[in-house]
Amino acid sequence: MNEGGEGEGESEGIGRPAPRPLTHLAQAGRRAEWTSMPGQPGGIVNPPVWRASTILYDDVAHLKAASGRDPHERLFYGRKGTPTAWSLADALTSMEPGAKGTMLFPSGVAAIACSLMAVLKPGDQLLMVDAAYDPTRGFCERMLKPLGIETIYYDPTIGADIAALFTDRTKAIFLESPGSLTFEVQDIPAITALARARDIVTLMDNTWATPLYFQALAKGVDISIVACTKYIVGHSDVMIGSATATPELWPALRSSAYLFGQMTSPDDAWLAARGLRTLGVRLAQHQAGALQVAQWLADRPEVARVLHPALPGCSGHDIWLRDFSGSTGLFTFILNGGGDKARAALIDGLAHFGIGYSWGGFESLALPVDPARYRSATRWEAEGPAIRLHIGLEDPADLITDLDAGLARFRASA
Ligand SMILES: *Cc1c(COP(=O)(O)O)cnc(C)c1O
């Protein structure tokens, strides 16, 4: 158990090997100081919800001492968090070997924005993957650009050729793997090795795999960002984000988050920590269900292609096999011909799929997506319209029956 909370991921003590990931999920973040009371034996299982703004001190000397020293993970003021948030942050840190700490944010987008602001200043250039989550692109265009920070988009399949884009002003590379909507898998070790050699910071949106299936820092990433709204929470009822950093980047990340006043409510942190306990069983089920549905779709004549990293033929499938320890429930399929109307006919009659944004909950979702609208460095071309599916925890046989009827509606309408 990583009780030190520094997340070094090493085995502790002689003859006591580090627990495997599923064991670790059950134990992470449950330090005795957060689950027990001073002077009393025993303790509760989960760190409780500590709600606070004001922290009261015994006397002026204690007040001064508290503000004088590093207040991280010490009661200081509500905005610095309480043991509820520290416990979640500690658990997330310990899932990324090589990490020093995790900051929590009110959403995944806030985590992305604040992490970029932690490493960039006017005059810098940022290399941004062309398959990035759309609001990440929006932040670059509408916030970074007016600040004099230039964003250069690159092909998600660029790999080691990214070095050709480096200039004296290149300060950071943003990675997202697999890419949003189109699921290209990036060669993260190749890119981070080149970046390190040039002192370029790498940040990765690791929401799809979570640190359970992809340990970003171990692959050379400096800041690993997760929209915990998705799989960490897992129940579609909380917005929360996290950024986990190496010892080198931790001070900049922490101070950026602090200066922007970023924090999360203890109730939301508590729900996310509750979700984390079942992340392993949920992801295994999302993975199995999604593979079953994706393989079924791949054999259908109405379907031109399935974009799922675990299926051979998906861009970067070999890299996924090499670097990831699992796949999750989100993927896209491309229809063979047909237009918007036929796609809507397929989606509209689905009985077991909700129609809506976000993903990562226990419920299945279907979303019409148009990746070409969010590209600038590369051209997205496809045989027909695209649908992104999130495969929830329902029985995949029911989902397949549902999609079968949907494809019949598509044929009738196309
Ligand atoms: C949803 C999502 C985000 C943003 O998370 P929010 O909590 O909704 O702000 C970031 N990256 C990816 C890949 C996402 O799917």
Q: Which of 241, 259, 277 marks a domain boundary?
A: 277
Q: Which of 250, 277, 304 marks a domain boundary?
A: 277
What was the pLDDT predicted at 10?
44
Same domain, 121 and 230: yes
Residue 263 CB–ligand 1 contact under 6 Å? no
Same domain, 382 and 289: yes
Residues 68-121: pLDDT tens digits? Answer: 666 678 889 999 999 999 999 999 999 999 999 999 999 999 999 999 999 999
Same domain, 81 and 174: yes
The enclosing domain of 309 has a CATH number of: 3.90.1150.10
Residue located via tokens 């004088």: 68
Same domain, 113 and 246: yes
CA 331, CA 182: separation in Å to the nearest integer? 8
Residue 207 CB–ligand 1 contact under 6 Å? yes
What was the pLDDT predicted at 2?
31
Same domain, 229 and 348: no
What was the pLDDT predicted at 69?
61
Q: Which of 248, 277, 306 marks a domain boundary?
A: 277
Same domain, 86 and 223: yes
Q: CB-hemisphere CA count at 13 Å for 192?
A: 18
Same domain, 314 and 226: no
Same domain, 318 and 211: no
pTM of the model: 0.95
Same domain, 112 and 240: yes
Which residue has a Cα nearest atom 6 of ligand 1? 108
**Cis peptide leading into 38, omega within 30 of 0?**
no
Residue 109 CB–ligand 1 contact under 6 Å? yes
For the cut 60, the answer to whether the pLDDT of residue 7 exceeds it is no
Q: Which strands, in side-by-side order, build the sheet including 170-176?
A: 101-105, 241-245, 223-226, 201-205, 170-176, 125-129, 150-154
Catalytic site residue from 30, 31, 90, 133: 133
Pocket perturbation via mutation, ligand 1, pick of 128, 133, 183 by most ligand atoms within 8 A of CB:
133
What was the pLDDT predicted at 72?
75
What was the pLDDT predicted at 4?
35
Residues 144-181: pLDDT tens digits? Answer: 999 999 999 999 999 999 999 999 999 999 999 999 99
Residues 335-358: pLDDT tens digits? Answer: 999 999 999 999 999 999 999 999
The enclosing domain of 120 has a CATH number of: 3.40.640.10
Same domain, 294 and 244: no
**Structural domain harbouring 401:** 279-413
* Domain count of the fold of the chain: 2
Angle, in degrees to the nearest 10, between helices 250-259 and 108-119? 120
Same domain, 35 and 154: yes
CA 342, CA 303: separation in Å to the nearest integer? 13
Same domain, 238 and 302: no
Pocket perturbation via mutation, ligand 1, pick of 137, 230, 232, 374 by most ligand atoms within 8 A of CB:
230
Q: DSSP string spanning 196-248?
A: HHTT-EEEEE-TTTHHHH--TGGGT-SEEEE-TTTTTT-SS----EEEEE-TT
Residue located via tokens 């002077």: 39
